[in-house]
Chains A and B, each alone.
Chain A
Amino acid sequence: AQSVTQLDSHVSVSEGTPVLLRCNYSSSYSPSLFWYVQHPNKGLQLLLKYTSAATLVKGINGFEAEFKKSETSFHLTKPSAHMSDAAEYFCVVSAPGESGGSNYKLTFGKGTLLTVNP
């Protein structure tokens, strides 16, 4: 079984300051990990993914995340927040589903709401 814990339900930063959204995971298998962003009343957009290649993953819009197996963490960071980054962010782990084999079933964290103050 797998699970995801997003340690903060709400993070507030000032524009131009760094962003850190924390995520810890638990998985019985070698996980694939993802961050998705959801703007208000919009769909989900994939920010970045870790699939057992480089542990530091770069995504879109200047975001990156580092996979740390020893800490079972996959925190999302950005050096400088922009107003347009205000949204909800979901950390996601995938693992083999009921039919076995491929890792199609996604387990989502509860989300972190990021607000960016002018």
Chain B
Amino acid sequence: NAGVMQNPRHLVRRRGQEARLRCSPMKGHSHVYWYRQLPEEGLKFMVYLQKENIIDESGMPKERFSAEFPKEGPSILRIQQVVRGDSAAYFCASSPTSENYGYTFGSGTRLTVV
């Protein structure tokens, strides 16, 4: 049973470009969570999605960031018009229910904006 798969592992974008980060949850998991890790900080919650629904996006920046989890396919975190401050590691986790018994995280996508 494969774990949470994130790709790409590393992503380099120029300022103003779009970044798309993908997260495939574990088999049977329909709840996905995105977290961002800025340099020398702990992870910060961004958004919680179920299939075709955004449950809680209280941690998402108001502009340029969006997330989706379609009926088919991976969850996507999209960052439009990236800026240097978006450089960070982005992690996703998945679970079979919303109850937290210890989430499984993916290996992350490290975004570098140049």
State the A residues within 8 Å of B (CB): 4, 32, 34, 36, 41-46, 49, 51, 90, 94, 97-99, 101-111
Contacts and interface: CB of A to CB of B under 8 A. Distances in A.
**Most chain B CB atoms below 10 A, which of A34, A42, A105:** A105
B55 A51 contact: no
7 contacts: A32-B100, A34-B102, A44-B43, A99-B56, A103-B99, A109-B42, A110-B41
Contacts, number: 68
Contacts of A36: 105
A104 B107 contact: no
A46 B56 contact: no
B100 A103 contact: yes
Contacts of B100: 32, 94, 102-104, 106
Nearest to B57: A98
B44 interface: yes
B102 A46 contact: yes
Contact of B107 (A34, A43, A94, A101): A43
Contacts of B40: 110
Given A97-B58, A98-B56, A111-B42, A104 B33 contact: yes
Contact of A42 (B31, B56, B103, B107): B107
Contacts of B55: 99
